[in-house]
Amino acid sequence: MDRPVRHAFTLIELLVVIAIIAILLGLLLPAVQKVRAAAARTQCANNMKQVALAIHTHHDANNQFVYSRITSAAAAQGHMPQLLPFLEQGNVVFTFTKSFADPANQAAANTPLKVARCPASPVAPLMKLRKSGSTGTSYGKYYTATGDTTDPNDPTIMTGYSNDYWVCHALNSQYATPSTGAKDTVLGGGASVDRRMVTVTDGLSNTIILFEHAGYPDHYVGTKKLPDTDFTMDQPGWWGAWVGICSFTLQGYGAQYTQPANYVTVANGGTHPNGSTPAGWDCAVNCNNSQGLYGFHDNTAGVAMCDGSVRYLTTSLPVTTLFAMATKNGGEVIAGD
C-alpha cells in the first residue's frame, strides 16, 4: 500500500524564508521609525502653534504678551499658568498669589497638559520639584507639602508634569554685543517689561517667542543623556514643570561642550567651570538642553515666531542668527536657515 506523499519545507527552504522575512523587516523598520518621527515632529509643531496662538489671544485680551516669569519665592511661576484660559484649560485652577511649588498648586501641577509635551521626548513626564540649587555643585532640596527634604524617596515630595516649550527672558551676556546686534527679548525678565506687540520692531515673522527646550529634568548634551551624578544642568527641578519657571537665558555652546565626554564637573576632573554654564559660538541647535534650543528631532529643533508660525531650525544654524531671531529690536536682517 502506497503511503501518501507529505509536502513540507526542507531546512534550506525554511532558512531562505526566514532570511527573506528578516530582510523585509530590515527594510520596513527604518520606514516605520521615520513615519513615527515625522508624526511626532508634526504633533510637536502643532503643540507649539497652539501655545503661540494662546500667547496671541492673551495679548488680544490684555494688550500685552504673557510675562516670562516671576521669581519671588512667594509667587514663583512662569508663562504657562497665564495661558490656561486660552488653551481651553480653564478648569485647571492655579492660584497666582502662591508659588508653583505651594501645596495650593499641587493639583494643577499634577494635571498633565498634552499641549506642553513633545511626543518625541524620551523623558518621563512627571518630575519631582526641587528648590533652587547652585549649578555645578547641587540641584537643591526637594519641595514637600510642609517644607523641604534631601531624601529623594520621601513620599511627600511635590511633583509636576514637565513642559518642553519654554520662553526666553534674556540672552547670555557674552552675546549682547554690537557684533550680534542683540538687544531685548520679547518677554524680558519679569512682569514689568513692556510686552506689547508694537515693541517687536524686527517684525513678528522674524522674532522667536517660544522655544523647544525639551528633556527636563534630565540633562542632555548632544544626543547623550548625562548621568544623575552630573550637576552641570541649570536647576532642573526648580524649572521644568509647566506650572513653574519655564524661562531661560538663551546661549550657544562651544564645540568642546557638545559631547558628554568633554562636559563634566571640575569635581570629576573635567574642564566645566564649577557653578557656571559654558557658552560658545560653535553650536546653536541641539547642543545642550540646559540653556539652549533643544529638541529630540534629527538635526532640528522647533521655534514659534511672534506671528504664530512654527519653524524648525537645523543644527547648521549659526549662533549669531539664532540670537538675531531671539531679539525683538536688534534691527538685524535674518538670512534663511
% of the chain residues with pLDDT over 90: 50
CB of 170 within 8 A of CB of 268? no
Q: Which three cell numbers stand for residue 243?
A: 506650572
Q: 274 or 153, which is more confident?
A: 153
**CA gap 163, 214 in Å, rounded:** 7
159-161/224-225 β-pairing: unpaired
User: What letter would DSSP give residue 293?
Assistant: B
Supply the pLDDT for residue 201. Answer: 92
SS3 159: strand
Q: Is the pTM of this model over 0.95?
A: no
**Residue 235's pLDDT band (cuts 50, 70, 90):** confident
Environment class of 227 (CB within 10 Å of its CB; exposed 0-12, middle 13-18, buried 19+): exposed
* pLDDT, the chain, mean: 85
pLDDT in tens, 198-214: 999 999 999 999 999 99
**Domain ranges, ordered by start, for the chain:** 35-326
Q: Minimum mean pLDDT among 40-44, 67-71, 114-118: which range?
A: 67-71
Give the pLDDT band (50/70/90) at residue 286.
very high
Question: What band does 190 get if pLDDT is binned at 50, 70 and 90?
Answer: low
What CA–CA distances, in Å, run from 192 to 35, 68, 172? 45, 10, 20
Query: How many whole angstroms separate alpha carbon 124 and alpha carbon 132?
Result: 21
Rounded Cα distance between 143 and 158, Å, is 6
State the Cα–Cα distance between residues 255 and 207, nearest whole angstrom: 26
Query: For residue 81, is the peptide bond before it cis, meaning its omega torsion is within 30 degrees of 0?
Result: no
Q: Using one digit for the tens of pLDDT, what is the confidence trace for 117-171? A: 999 999 999 999 988 776 767 788 899 989 999 998 999 999 999 999 999 988 8
Lowest mean pLDDT among 108-112, 295-299, 320-324: 320-324
The pLDDT confidence band at residue 31, using thresholds 50, 70 and 90, is low
Least confident of 21-30, 90-99, 220-229: 21-30
The number of residues making up the chain comes to: 337
